[in-house]
Amino acid sequence: MKGRTAMRRWGDRRDGKLIRDIDAMHYIMPLMYPNRCDNEAYMTIKVNLENTEKFIKELNADNDSDVNYTIFQVIIAAILKTVTLRPQMNRFIANNNVYQRNEVTAAFTVKKTFSDEGEESLARIVGESTDTLVNIRDKVNEQILFCKNHDDESTESMNFIQKLPFKHLIGALARWADKHGFMPQSVIATDPYQCTVVLSNLGSIGMNIGYHHLMNWGTNSIFIVVGQKSTRPFFDKHGNFSMRRYLEISMTIDERISDGFYYGRSIKLFKRLLENPELLMRPLNEDVG
C-alpha cells in the first residue's frame, strides 16, 4: 500500500501534482495569459567547449564500451540535472492551473535514415535521481537504436488514428482530453510535448541555433536547440587574444512557471554543468554547490 504522501489528491493529474500554495502572481498569470505559445522567454547561451571536449576525449579513451560519449549526451545529462536541482523548471500549466511534473524527462527526434524520405521516430528519456552521465549515455543510445529499427508507441497510435474517419471530431476530443490530462497513455507515451524538455540537435545536420516556439498542445515548458560547434576569437580581461571552441544553445521557456531570477540561476547552472562535465558523473540529485 502506498504511503499518504504518494496518494493522488483531488485536482492532481496523472502526470503532475497541482501546486496549491502558489503565490498570487503565478496563480493569476495562467488566467490572464492562457496560451503557452504566447508566454515564451527566448534566450541563447555560448558554451566554452575547451574543458568539455577534453573530458569527452578522455572518457572515450578509457571507455570499454563500443558506444562513445558525445556532446549531445552531455547536454541531455546537464539539463536533466539542472531540472532535478531546480524543480520549478519542471512545472507546467494546463487548464489554467500550475502543476509539478511527476517525472524529469527529455525528448528528441531520431531520423531513421539521413534522407528526404527517411522517417522520424520519437525518443524519450526518463531521468532517475541516481542517474549519472554514464546512465544517461546508455539510455540515449538505447533509444536511438530502438527508434532506428522500430516505431515508437506514440507513432504506432498515430498511425492507427490516421485511418479513422471524422478527423475534426477526433481533433476536438484530443484537445479537450489533453487540456484535462485524459489523453490515453498509448498516444502520448513518447510524445515529446508531454516531456520536461524537448531537444533539437540542429548541429548534427550542419545547422546553427534558431528560435523554436513552444506548443499549446501537451505540457512541455522548455525547448532547447543545439547548434554547431565553432572556433571563435576570445579576449580575456587583459585584452589577450586566443581562439576557443564554442557551442551555441538556444532555449525557449514558458515564462509563467517561475520568475526571471529563478530562470537566470537555473541557466547559469546549466552552463556551468556543460563547461564542467565532470560534475555530471555525480547523481542527478546531488548538489554541486
Residue 151: DSSP 8-state: -
CB within 8 Å of 222: residues ≥ 6 apart: 79, 83, 89, 196, 197, 198, 251, 252, 253, 254
Report the residue count for the chain. 289
**In b/e form, how buried is each residue of 32-46, taking b as 16+ CB within 10 angstroms?**
eeeebeebbeeeebe
Q: Are 121 and 147 in contact (CB under 8 A)?
A: yes
The letter for the amino acid at 95 is N
Domain boundaries, the chain: 18-152+190-281
The pLDDT of residue 6:
61
Region 35-58 average pLDDT = 95
CA distance 137 to 111: 18
SS3 62: coil
Q: E strand or H helix at 265, and its extent? A: helix 260-275
Closest CA to 15 of 233, 230, 183, 228: 183
pLDDT for 4 beyond 50: no
Helices (H), 62-217: 71-85, 133-149, 153-162, 167-180, 185-188
Closest CA to 233 of 246, 218, 220: 246
- Better-scored residue on pLDDT, 191 or 197: 197
Q: Which cell numbers in the block locate residue 207?
A: 545547422
pLDDT for 268 beyond 80: yes
Q: What's the pTM value of the predicted model, to 2 decimals?
A: 0.89
Q: Tens of pLDDT along 210-219?
A: 899 999 999 9
Cβ count near 255 (within 10 Å)? 18
Tell me how far CA of residue 21 lies from CA of 10, 13, 39, 219, in angstroms: 15, 17, 22, 20
Residue with cell 538556444: 250
* Domain 18-152+190-281: CATH superfamily, name plus number: Chloramphenicol acetyltransferase-like domain (3.30.559.10)
Q: Tens of pLDDT along 90-139?
A: 999 999 999 999 999 999 988 777 777 667 788 999 999 999 999 999 99
Q: Are 47 and 246 in contact (CB under 8 A)?
A: yes
The pLDDT of residue 171:
85
pLDDT for 235 beyond 90: no
Residue 218 Rama label (left phi>0; alpha psi -120 to 50; beta) = left
Closest CA to 198 of 176, 171, 222: 222
